[in-house]
Amino acid sequence: MGNPLRERRTAADWAAGSQVIEIADKIGDFGELSAIVEADLAALDAAKIPADWRDTVVEGRLEFGFADAQQMLPTVTCRARVTVDAVCQRCLEPFRLPLEAEGELLLLAFDQNADGFDDFEVWELEEDQLRPQDIVEELLIMALPFSAMHTESAACKALSTEEDDSAEEMTTPFAGLREQMAQDN
């Protein structure tokens, strides 16, 4: 049996069966997303590129349905998460970046209008048929930060040099204020 994530059907077809698709696919199967990750990792010395970054699994689920009782407006709810390998823009070292995507989408043809369904985001269909994977992939790409960086300073080499300062701040909460007063004088 093929992977439903990569099947092409009309939005109405997906919705008619209230199709639920469980996502458990390697990031390497998502062409555009893995091209972005690959381009990012290319900044590293070859030896530092995580050998198995393409095997990281994207997890989540898609649930198709209709927004209206007349079954004219197909919808899909998508939840997906993956932890990609990325390069920290501050210290230029690889790190693991968790991504999460969530969307409640109204799947509309370009000439279709829907008022009064504000809970949904409109997803304009470019073709008659849609491949669920493309939705998951685009949502994950949109979840990518503009600039990826270590969030914990302890893990970031560029920030670890400031470690002593931050330790002091923790123990003497008025250090910042004191500094500021010193500057004012």
What is the rounded radius of gyration, in angstroms, for the C-alpha atoms of the chain?
22
Q: Which of 78, 80, 88, 106 touches Zn ion (CB under 5 A)?
A: 88
The b/e string for 8-26 (b: 16+ C-beta within 10 A; e otherwise) is ebbbbebbeeebebebebe
Q: Is 87 in the site for Zn ion (CB under 5 A)?
A: no
Q: Please, what is the minimum distance in Å from the beta carbon of residue 112 to Zn ion?
A: 45
44 φ, ψ (degrees, to nearest 5):
-90, 160
H/E stretch holding 54 = none
Angle at 36 between CA 30 and CA 38, to 5 degrees: 90
**Binding test (CB under 5 A) with Zn ion, winner from 36, 49, 91, 125:** 91
Q: What is the DSSP letter of 56?
A: P
Which of 12, 158 has the CB closer to Zn ion? 158
**Binding range to Zn ion, per CB under 5 A, among 105-113, 134-142, 146-154, 161-169:** 146-154
Whether the Cβ atoms of residue 94 and residue 86 lie closer than 8 Å to each other: yes
Reading the block at residue 83, the tokens are 């932890």
Residue 97 engages Zn ion in binding (rule: CB under 5 A): no
Give SS3 for 5: helix
Query: CB of 159: closest distance to Zn ion in angstroms?
Result: 7
Residues contacting Zn ion: total by CB under 5 A: 5
Give me the least distance between CB of 91 and Zn ion, in Å please: 3
**90: contact with Zn ion by CB under 5 A:** yes
Of 67, 78, 86, 156, the one binding Zn ion by CB under 5 A: 156
Q: Determine the interface stretch with Zn ion among 21-29, 66-74, 102-110, 148-156 (rule: CB under 5 A).
A: 148-156
Give the bridge partners for 84, in sequence order. Answer: 97
Please tell me the distance from the alpha carbon of residue 30 to that of residue 165, in angstroms, as a whole number.
42
109 or 158: CB nearest Zn ion: 158
User: Roughly how many angstroms between the first and final C-alpha of the chain, as a whole number?
Assistant: 75
Pick between residue 6 and residue 157 the one whose CB is nearest to Zn ion: 157
Write down the least CB distance from residue 147 to Zn ion, Å: 11
Which chain residues interact with Zn ion by CB under 5 A?
A: 88, 90-91, 150, 156
